[in-house]
């Protein structure tokens, strides 16, 4: 075992990369839940985003088009969730599970011819001078653009929810859909927009895994990240900046355990590999005492006739 | 325009699974056509050949082998689902049942005694029970979301499985290959077919017992009434004095124990060895089975049979038509989609739109 092989600068830099898929998916789901909808299909939307992004960027050679395709792929899958929960008024838990089961199968089917293919690289943003500062440069300013998009999105969602009329309406729909309806807001329409946004974000998060983090396509490669993102929203008490903090925390744990595996610590690989999931459970336990910040209409079906 | 029915329609609640299956066949056919297969041939291969085809004598017993774990798990899940308690980590409980059951059996190796198999059964049920009791306890004590905890534990169980197949339960005479001793050559711990060639093993018997047990529980027992009441009218359940904590511990614990049993019967019978890729997703497919069977024990029995058919037919289509394995997974996912969508007709009726009165 040689812990000195672990380079702290690289560790923090890769922590940010590991956290980004989680952050993207969690920010999307946060908006969905703020609108009062519980979409458990994050894992399914992520994996569909991962394969659509991968396939398109391999076919076109452009990672940018890949990410756009991933967002569209995730949103299209979430459209199925919209049909089930907003129009067919189906149970949201069951519909979310259906989305995940379907997404996992569908992505495996789509991805058959892409196993072992290498995707085009996106490259890193390199800002002269800033990126070359020792330590801070490689940690903060030598990443791919999508990583910064994730942070920007967090800021945008925070600002929109907190300071704009749109954010207020979205929160009203999530807190009390009957009251929002009585005030004349289109509850269903607002929720559909939120679900589609969540799908697009999850798709981006998935593509980040298949195009940048790994970068490769394997079946079921999201390996529970979508579920951890759901836990993260609870962890964050539905607050965007806390989601960012949580994502970096989980990213850190993931990277650290991978580094410990590589360094050959005396702990068996399997126990290290299960640590992110166990820590997710522990965090959920610690934070579940306070449920006051959960949107009051979360998971409830809205039907305008009564 | 949708109008909520005062009572859910009985007729539609029976009809929706059938309509959903037909719609899935239709859209599945389109999917197969897109994949370049003859849709009628593919559907026929999946649904007809295992039952009435040339080699059906081989496939029919498989129906029991594949259907039993699905039914066993789905019965347990359905009780919780009815009460709004969502155990979606049955896959993990299935794995832990297999590990505990196999571990108990292998501890006695090579002893030959009648009591070994019963001990394995108890150990398997215990493994699943303890794994499901973790989310149950956390929910009761701390209010933690059972959906997320039970699911996280699936990933933990998968790592446990990898760990024991490479370490604790590895076959000492296996030339270094991962995986345990084979139960098919250890008579005292082997879950053998009760009638040779029938596919009937103890797991199938357990599945039938579980169906009857669940039916009696839901229709004749106060606990079953409490489960239904909690799901349909939580406030009324509270006033009726239902203890939610006990209900959570019971529903999750029982579904875990049943999933654990399924894993144990699988590892000691059809599969034979504990290995890294021992689990094949029965725990997740069972969720579809539970819904397709309308959370009703008899419905689940039928749905389990149908889902087993898609597994077997899917394998045939894979080898004969080159249909990708993932296509069957998509097919099963679609089934749940259509089911949830058509369920609208059970609870609502469609009326011609009237002009809105302000």
In a domain, B243, yes or no: yes
Distance CA A40, CA A112 (A): 25
**Helix, strand, coil percentages for chain B (3-state, nearest 5):** 70, 0, 25
Retrieve residue A246's tokens: 């949580």
Nearest neighbour of B337 by CB, restricted to A98, A274, A280:
A98
Distance CA A106, CA B303 (A): 22
Q: Is the pLDDT of residue B243 over 90?
A: no
Nearest neighbour of B155 by CB, restricted to A95, A105, A224:
A224
In whole numbers, what is the pLDDT of chain A averaged over residues? 83
Taking an 8 Å cut-off on Cβ atoms, the answer to whether A305 and B287 are in contact is no
Q: Are B24 and B335 in contact (CB under 8 A)?
A: yes
Residue-wise pLDDT for B244-254, tens only, equals 888 889 999 99
The pLDDT > 70 percentage for chain A reads 89
**What CATH number did the domain enclosing B223 receive?**
1.10.3470
Q: Is the pLDDT of residue B48 over 90?
A: no
pTM attached to this predicted model: 0.87
Taking an 8 Å cut-off on Cβ atoms, the answer to whether A108 and B326 are in contact is yes
Q: What residue numbers bound the domain in which B249 lies?
A: 36-323
| Phi and psi at residue B3, to the nearest 5° | -130, 130
Q: Are B154 and B92 in contact (CB under 8 A)?
A: yes
The total number of structural domains that make up chain B: 1
The pLDDT > 90 percentage for chain B reads 19
In a domain, B18, yes or no: no
Backbone CA torsion sign across B254, B260, B261, B263: positive
Coil, helix or strand for B349? strand
In a domain, B56, yes or no: yes
Q: Which residue of A has its CA nearest to B333?
A: A102
In a domain, B194, yes or no: yes
Q: Which residue of B has its CA nearest to A108?
A: B326
CA distances from B37 to B43, B299, B310 (A): 10, 32, 17
Q: Are B340 and A94 in contact (CB under 8 A)?
A: yes
In a domain, B92, yes or no: yes
Using a CB-CB distance cutoff of 8 angstroms, which residues of chain A are in contact with residue B159? 270-271, 273-274
Residue-wise pLDDT for A254-263, tens only, equals 888 887 877 7
Residue-wise pLDDT for A251-292, tens only, equals 888 888 887 877 777 777 888 888 888 988 888 888 776 666
Q: What is the mean pLDDT of the segment spanning A51-78? A: 89
In a domain, B257, yes or no: yes
Residue-wise pLDDT for B144-194, tens only, equals 888 889 988 999 999 898 888 887 777 777 776 777 777 777 777 777 777
In a domain, B163, yes or no: yes
In a domain, B280, yes or no: yes
Is A109 within 8 Å of chain B by CB? yes
Q: Is the pLDDT of residue B109 over 70?
A: yes
The H-assigned helical ranges of chain B are 10-34, 39-47, 49-52, 56-82, 90-108, 116-142, 146-166, 202-220, 222-232, 234-239, 244-268, 282-292, 297-321, 325-342, 344-347
**Per-residue model confidence (pLDDT) at position A1:** 47
Of residues B115, B116, B98, the one with CA closest to residue B107: B116
**Per-residue model confidence (pLDDT) at position B91:** 92
Q: How does residue B97 score in pLDDT terms, banded at 50, 70 and 90?
A: very high
Nearest neighbour of B148 by CB, restricted to A109, A230, A291:
A230
Is B248 within 8 Å of chain A by CB? no
Question: Within the 254-273 window of chain A, which residues sit less than 8 Å (CB to CB) from chain B?
Answer: 268, 270-271, 273
- Mean pLDDT comparison of A216-220, B67-71, B175-179, highest-scoring range: B67-71
Domain boundaries, given as residue ranges, for chain A: 3-116+144-287
> Which one of A38, A87, A89 would you mutate to disrupt binding with B, by most B Cβ within 10 Å of its Cβ?
A89
Looking at domain A3-116+144-287, its CATH architecture is Orthogonal Bundle (1.10)
Question: Within the 124-153 window of chain B, which residues sit less than 8 Å (CB to CB) from chain A?
Answer: 138, 142-145, 147-149, 151-153
DSSP state letters, B60-90: HHHHHHHHHHHHHHHHHHHHHHHTT-----H
Across the A:B interface, residue pairs with CB atoms under 8 Å apart total 137
Distance CA B321, CA B330 (A): 17
Q: Is the pLDDT of residue B78 over 60?
A: yes
Instruction: Specify which residues A227 forms β-bridges with.
Output: none
- Strand pairing report for B348-350 and B2-4: antiparallel
* Nearest chain A Cα distance for residue B53, angstroms: 27
Q: How does residue B123 score in pLDDT terms, banded at 50, 70 and 90?
A: very high
Residue-wise pLDDT for A163-217, tens only, equals 988 888 888 888 888 888 888 888 888 889 999 999 999 999 999 988 888 888 8
Distance CA A6, CA B233 (A): 56
* Nearest chain B Cα distance for residue A288, angstroms: 5
Q: Are B263 and B93 in contact (CB under 8 A)?
A: yes
Q: Is the pLDDT of residue B358 over 60?
A: no
Taking an 8 Å cut-off on Cβ atoms, the answer to whether A109 and B336 are in contact is no
Taking an 8 Å cut-off on Cβ atoms, the answer to whether B333 and A106 are in contact is yes
Is B47 within 8 Å of chain A by CB? no
Q: Are A204 and A50 in contact (CB under 8 A)?
A: no
Q: What is the mean pLDDT of the segment spanning B212-218? A: 88
| Phi and psi at residue B36, to the nearest 5° | 85, 20
**Per-residue model confidence (pLDDT) at position A137:** 64
* Nearest chain B Cα distance for residue A168, angstroms: 26
Between A145 and B123, residue with greater pLDDT: B123
Is B30 within 8 Å of chain A by CB? no
Q: Which residue of A has its CA nearest to B345?
A: A88
């Amino acid at each position: 075992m040689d812990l000195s092989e672990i380079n702290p600068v690289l560790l923090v830099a890769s922590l940010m990369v590991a956290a980004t898929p989680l952050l993207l998916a969690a920010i999307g789901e946060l908006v969905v839940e703020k609108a009062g909808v519980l979409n458990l299909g994050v894992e399914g939307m992520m994996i569909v985003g991962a394969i659509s992004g991968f396939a398109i960027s391999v076919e076109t050679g452009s990672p940018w088009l890949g990410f756009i395709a991933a967002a569209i792929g995730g949103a299209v899958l979430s459209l199925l969730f919209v049909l089930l929960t907003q129009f067919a008024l189906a149970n949201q838990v069951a519909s979310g599970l259906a989305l995940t089961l379907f997404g996992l199968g569908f992505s495996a089917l789509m991805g058959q011819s892409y196993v072992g293919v290498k995707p085009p690289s996106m490259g890193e943003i390199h800002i002269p001078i800033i990126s070359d500062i020792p330590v801070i440069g490689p940690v903060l300013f030598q990443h791919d653009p999508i990583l910064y998009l994730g942070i920007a999105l967090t800021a945008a969602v925070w600002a929109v929810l907190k300071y704009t009329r749109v954010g207020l309406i979205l929160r009203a729909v999530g807190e009390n859909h009957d009251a929002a309806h009585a005030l004349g807001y289109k509850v269903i329409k607002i929720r559909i927009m939120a679900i589609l946004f969540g799908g697009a974000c999850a798709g981006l998060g998935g593509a980040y895994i298949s195009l940048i983090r790994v970068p490769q396509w394997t079946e079921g490669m999201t390996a529970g990240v979508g579920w951890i993102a759901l836990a993260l929203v609870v962890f964050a008490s539905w607050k965007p900046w806390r989601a960012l903090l949580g994502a970096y925390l989980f990213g850190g744990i993931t990277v650290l355990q991978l580094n410990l595996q590589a360094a050959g610590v005396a702990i068996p690989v399997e126990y290290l590999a299960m640590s992110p999931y166990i820590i997710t459970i522990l965090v959920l336990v610690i934070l579940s005492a306070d449920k006051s910040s959960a949107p009051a209409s979360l998971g409830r079906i809205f039907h305008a006739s009564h | 325009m949708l109008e909520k029915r005062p009572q859910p329609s009985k007729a539609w609640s029976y009809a929706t699974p059938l309509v959903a299956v037909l719609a899935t066949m239709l859209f599945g056919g389109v999917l197969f056509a897109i994949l370049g297969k003859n849709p009628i041939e593919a559907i026929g291969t999946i649904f007809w050949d295992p039952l009435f085809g040339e080699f059906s004598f081989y496939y029919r017993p498989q129906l029991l082998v594949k259907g039993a774990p699905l039914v066993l798990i789905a019965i347990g899940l359905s009780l919780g689902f009815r009460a709004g308690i969502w155990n979606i980590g049955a896959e993990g409980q299935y794995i832990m049942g297999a590990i505990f059951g196999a571990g108990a059996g292998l501890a006695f190796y090579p002893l030959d005694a009648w009591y070994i198999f019963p001990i394995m059964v108890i150990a398997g049920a215990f493994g699943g029970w303890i794994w499901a009791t973790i989310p149950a306890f956390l929910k009761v004590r701390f209010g933690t979301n059972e959906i997320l905890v039970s699911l996280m534990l699936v990933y933990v169980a998968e790592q446990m499985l990898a760990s024991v197949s490479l370490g604790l339960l590895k076959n000492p005479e296996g030339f270094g290959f991962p995986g345990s001793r084979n139960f098919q050559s250890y008579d005292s711990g082997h879950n053998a077919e009760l009638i040779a060639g029938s596919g009937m093993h103890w797991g199938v018997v357990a599945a039938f017992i579980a169906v009857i047990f669940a039916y009696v529980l839901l229709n004749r027992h106060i606990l079953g009434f409490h489960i239904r009441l909690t799901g349909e009218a939580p406030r009324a359940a509270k006033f009726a004095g239902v203890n939610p904590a006990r209900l959570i511990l019971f529903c999750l614990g029982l579904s875990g124990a049943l999933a654990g049993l399924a894993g144990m019967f699988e590892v000691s019978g059809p599969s034979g060895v504990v290995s890294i890729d021992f689990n094949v997703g029965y725990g997740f497919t069972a969720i579809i089975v539970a819904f397709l069977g309308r959370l009703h024990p008899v419905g689940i029995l039928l749905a389990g049979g149908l889902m087993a058919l898609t597994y077997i037919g899917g394998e045939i289509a894979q080898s004969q038509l080159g249909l990708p394995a993932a296509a069957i997974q998509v097919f099963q996912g679609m089934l749940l989609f259509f089911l949830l969508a058509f369920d609208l007709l059970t609870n609502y009726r469609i009326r011609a739109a009237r002009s809105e009165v302000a």
